[in-house]
Structure 1
Amino acid sequence: MQSIHDYYDKLAQDYDSKRFGNSYGRYLDRQERDILSAWLAAVPPEAAIDLGCGTGRLLDFAMTGADASAEMLKVAAAKFPDRRLIQASLPDLGVAGDSRYRAATCFHVFMHLDKTVIEQSLRAVAGIVAAGGIFILDIPSQHRRALNWRKPSGWHGGTAATRADIAAWAGPAWRIVGRRGILFFPIHRLPAFARPLLRRLDALIGRSPLGRYASYHVYQLERQA
C-alpha cells in the first residue's frame, strides 16, 4: 500500500493548484481561515506551530511548521523562507517537540490516522502546548459519514469521529472548548458559481446543532494543567 509520505511527496509540486486553486478548494480554505482567525486572534504566529503544514497553506498563522513530507516542505520553504520548518511525523515530533507553544494546529491529517495513532498524537501534542494553550484540529464527521452509503477504504480519509470520540482520545490532557462544522452543503455537487453564495450560510449552520452533520468538524482543545 502506498504510504502517506510517498503520496504527498508526489503531490507536492501541484498540491496548491490542484487542491486549493479551484472554487471547491477556495471555499474550504476560506472556512478554515475564518475559524483560525477567530480562535487564534490572541495568539501571535511566533507562539504557534502548524503540524502537517504541507506546502505552508496555513503558515500565516504559525512561524513553525512540521510535516512528514520532505517535498511538501520544500514548497513551503520557497513560499515562507522565514519560517522554521521541521520534517516530523505524528506522533513522533522530533525536534518540533523541543519548544512549548501557546497554540498548535493540524488540518487534514487526523483523518488519515488510525485511532491508536490519534491517541498517541494527542498525547504528543500535549507535550508541546503549554497549560491553557489550544490545539485546533479537523476530522470528518462520523454523523455525516453514517448518512453516506459510500464508505472510505484504506488510510486516505479513513477515520471519522464524533465529539465523544475526540473527548475519549484526548484524555485528561485536553478539554473540548469549541467545535465548528464545515462543508454542510455538498459543494462538490453544486455549480461553481453557487459555492461562494453558500459559504456564509454554511458557516452559520456549522455553529448550530445541525453542524454535527457537516462533512468536517474543527475542534478547539484546551491544554489542561
Structure 2
Amino acid sequence: MKEEINQYYDKIAENYDSSRFSNSYGKYINNQENRILKKYLNQENVKLNLDLACGTGRFLNYADYGIDISSEMIKISKSKFPSKNIIIGDAEQLPYKNEYFENIISFHLFMHLDITTMEKILSEVSRVTKKEGLFIFDIPSLKRRKISGYQSESWHGGNQIEVEKLKSITYKDWNMECYCGIAFFPIHRIPKKIRKFFILIDNILCESFLKEYSSHLTFVLRKK
C-alpha cells in the first residue's frame, strides 16, 4: 500500500495545489484547517515544528521541517520553501532524534492508512516530540460515515476513527487537549457560489456537541 500511495501522489503532485485547493471546496476545507492551526501554533516560532506528510507545503508556514514519502511532492514544497528542512522519508521510521520537535502537525495522512500503521506512526511521533509538545492531525469521523453509509473502495480515505478509540490508543503517551470537526456540512452538495457563506456556521457546529459528526476530526494531543 505504501508504494501505491507514493505513486499516486507522485502522479498528481504537479497539479495538486490547483486541483485540490484553488476551488471553492478546497478553500472551504483550507480555511477550517488553518483556523485550527492558527489557534494552537505560533507562526513566529516554528523552528522546531515538523509537518509530517507535508506534501506540497501547504502548512509549512507552521513548521521549519517537512517530510513526505513522495519525491514529486517534496520537489514542489522545496521550490516554495527553499530555506526549510524538507526531506523524503517514511512516517513509520522518522530520521530524527528523540524529543527533537516542539510540535508536529499532519493533515490528510492517517485517512489513507490502517489502524495498525497509524499506531506505529503515533509511537514514532511520540518518540520525536518533546514533553508538553503538541501533535495536531486529522482523520475522517467513523460516526459520520456510519450515518452517511460511506465506505471507501480503496486505501484512499479508507481509514476512520471514533474519539474514544483514539483515546484508547494514545492515552499512554498523550493527553487529548481537544478535538474539533472539519466540514460539518456536506459541502460537495452545496452550490459552489454560496459555499463560502456556510463557513461561519460550519465552524460553530464543528466546535459544538455535534462535532464528532463532522466529516473529519482534527485532534490536538499534548505529549505527557
Contact 1:118 1:169 in 2 (8 A): no
SS at match of 1:209: coil
TM-score (structure 1 length as normaliser): 0.95
Counterparts of 2:146 and 2:134, CA distance in 1:
29
Aligned residue in 2 for 1:223: 223
Counterparts of 1:211 and 1:163, CA distance in 2:
11
SS at match of 2:220: strand
Q: How does 1:96-115 map to 2 (within 5 A)?
A: 96-97=96-97, 100-115=100-115
Indicate whether 1:116 and 2:116 are aligned: yes
Q: How does 1:68-107 map to 2 (within 5 A)?
A: 68-93=69-94, 95-97=95-97, 100-107=100-107
Return the letter of the residue paired with 1:14.
N
Cα distance, 1:137–1:58 mapped onto 2, change above 3 Å: same
Aligned residue in 1 for 2:193: 193
Contact 1:90 1:121 in 2 (8 A): yes
SS at match of 1:147: helix
Return the letter of the residue paired with 1:15.
Y
Runs of 4+ in 1 over 2 A off after TM superposition: 95-99
Return the letter of the residue paired with 1:23.
S
Q: CA deviation at 1:92?
A: 1.4
Q: CA deviation at 1:149?
A: 2.2
SS at match of 1:34: helix
TM-score (structure 2 length as normaliser): 0.96
Contact 1:24 1:187 in 2 (8 A): yes
Q: 1:113-157: CA deviations, max 9, x gaps? A: 111111111000001110000100100001100012231122111
Q: 1:157-201: CA deviations, max 9, x gaps? A: 111001111112224011111101010001111111211111111
- Segments of 5+ residues of structure 1 without an aligned counterpart are none
What is the aligned residue count? 223
Q: 1:64-97: CA deviations, max 9, x gaps? A: 000000000000011111110011122111x245
Contact 2:98 2:127 in 1 (8 A): no
Aligned residue in 1 for 2:206: 206
Aligned residue in 1 for 2:61: 60
Contact 2:49 2:102 in 1 (8 A): yes
Aligned residue in 1 for 2:49: 48
SS at match of 2:206: helix
Identity %: 37
- Pairwise CA RMSD of aligned residues? 1.5
Contact 1:88 1:96 in 2 (8 A): no
Counterparts of 1:169 and 1:45, CA distance in 2:
28
Counterparts of 2:44 and 2:133, CA distance in 1:
9
Cα distance, 1:109–1:97 mapped onto 2, change above 3 Å: farther
Contact 2:103 2:133 in 1 (8 A): yes
Contact 2:54 2:68 in 1 (8 A): yes
Counterparts of 1:221 and 1:17, CA distance in 2:
31
Indicate whether 1:183 and 2:183 are aligned: yes
Indicate whether 1:15 and 2:16 are aligned: yes
Aligned residue in 1 for 2:38: 37
